[in-house]
């Protein structure tokens, strides 16, 4: 989606903004670079942007490789980056100039992590660094020194669902469990030890919401709403969003909640990395939910 000049898209703690929105606020927001590799950041980044690795806030809590780190560790990273709970933070990524990697999800994953840990004004740069560059905006190699904050992480449990909740709620009338991975992974061609998807989950691939040419750029709202409606999200009383490791759901979750305004949407962060390691947790391969 090419947002109008200075237009903010969405509502709540996480929205999408165009480059003009950020360019009009020099020094007015903490800018976080989530490009795929540190060498991409060293090659080029938005002036003032602080590098935060996508995986910097993860730790193998309970052996789960996709879990978020303890709050003290999260707080330390975000304090060092200068993040403040009530101040605007803008997150972006790209296909790296050096690594030639990137799917756009580094930005949404980090943005979700900020909201999850108590940030109240988080913005994803629509179109990422590719759009910023294509509009002729300034890039730099200069590395800033952020002013450390006193950020104190807290978990927004109202946004989340755990395995027990998913087990209890899936299949109930009015409750929709979404799987946001690719159709191939949903049907059983993925990388997880147990193939397929959570029994009852409906497929809504994350790529339905972003353009093919630029995975950091949202599709038009009409396309997004049609994809969500086709999956049943627009008519559900409650939606639980899942994926494999928390990455693809980090895009779909805020789109449903903030852009489309669905009132009850929760994020199963453990997703299949958590579900599939439980031997008795039901899974199904193939194109059908059940």
Q: Which domains can be identified in the chain, with CATH numbers?
A: 14-134 (3.40.250.10), 160-284 (3.40.250.10)
- pLDDT tens per residue, range 150-171: 999 999 999 999 999 999 999 9
**Options 89, 119, 243, 251, the catalytic residue:** 243
- pLDDT tens per residue, range 53-101: 999 999 999 999 999 999 999 999 999 999 999 999 999 999 999 999 9
Mean pLDDT of the region 117-137: 97
Q: What is the pLDDT of residue 7?
A: 78
DSSP class of 266? E
| Residue 129 CA to its chain's centroid (Å) | 16
Query: Of all helices (H) and strands (E), which one includes residue 4?
Result: none
Query: Rounded to two decimals, what is the model's pTM?
Result: 0.95
Q: Which residues pair with 178 in a beta bridge?
A: 202, 241
3-state secondary structure of 184: helix
Strands (E), 180-268: 197-198, 202-203, 238-242, 265-267
Half-sphere exposure of 261 (CA within 13 A, CB side): 4
- 87 φ, ψ to 5°? -100, 150
Longest dimension (CA), the chain: 54
Can 243 be counted among the known catalytic residues? Answer: yes
- pLDDT tens per residue, range 241-274: 999 999 999 999 999 999 999 999 999 999 999 9
Count other C-beta atoms under 10 Å from residue 225's C-beta.
Answer: 16
Contact call for residues 82 and 93 (beta carbons, < 8 A)? no
% of the chain residues with pLDDT over 70: 98
């Amino acid at each position: 989606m090419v947002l109008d000049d200075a237009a903010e898209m969405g509502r709540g703690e996480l929205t999408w903004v165009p480059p003009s929105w950020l360019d009009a606020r020099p020094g007015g927001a903490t800018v976080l670079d989530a490009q795929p590799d540190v060498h991409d950041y060293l090659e080029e980044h938005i002036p003032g942007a602080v590098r935060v690795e996508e995986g910097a806030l993860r730790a193998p809590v309970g052996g789960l490789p996709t879990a978020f780190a303890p709050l003290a560790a999260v707080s330390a990273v975000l304090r060092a980056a200068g993040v403040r709970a009530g101040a605007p933070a803008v997150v972006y990524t790209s296909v790296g100039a050096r690594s030639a990697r990137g799917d756009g999800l580094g930005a949404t994953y980090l943005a979700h992590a900020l909201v999850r840990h108590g940030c109240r004004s988080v913005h994803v740069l629509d179109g990422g660094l590719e759009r910023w560059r294509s509009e002729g905006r300034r890039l730099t190699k200069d590395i800033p020194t952020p002013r450390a904050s006193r950020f104190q992480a807290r978990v927004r449990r109202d946004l989340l669902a755990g395995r027990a909740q998913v087990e209890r709620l899936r299949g109930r009338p009015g409750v929709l469990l979404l799987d946001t991975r690719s159709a191939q992974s949903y049907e059983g061609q993925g990388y997880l030890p147990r193939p397929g998807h959570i029994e009852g989950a409906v497929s809504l691939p994350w790529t339905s919401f972003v353009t093919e040419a630029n995975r950091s750029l949202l599709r038009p709202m009409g396309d997004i709403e049609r994809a969500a409606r086709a999956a049943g999200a627009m008519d559900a009383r409650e939606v639980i969003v899942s994926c494999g490791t928390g990455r693809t759901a980090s895009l779909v979750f805020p789109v449903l909640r903030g852009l489309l305004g669905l009132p009850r949407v929760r994020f199963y962060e453990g997703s299949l990395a958590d579900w599939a390691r439980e031997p008795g947790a039901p899974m199904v391969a193939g194109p059908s939910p059940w």
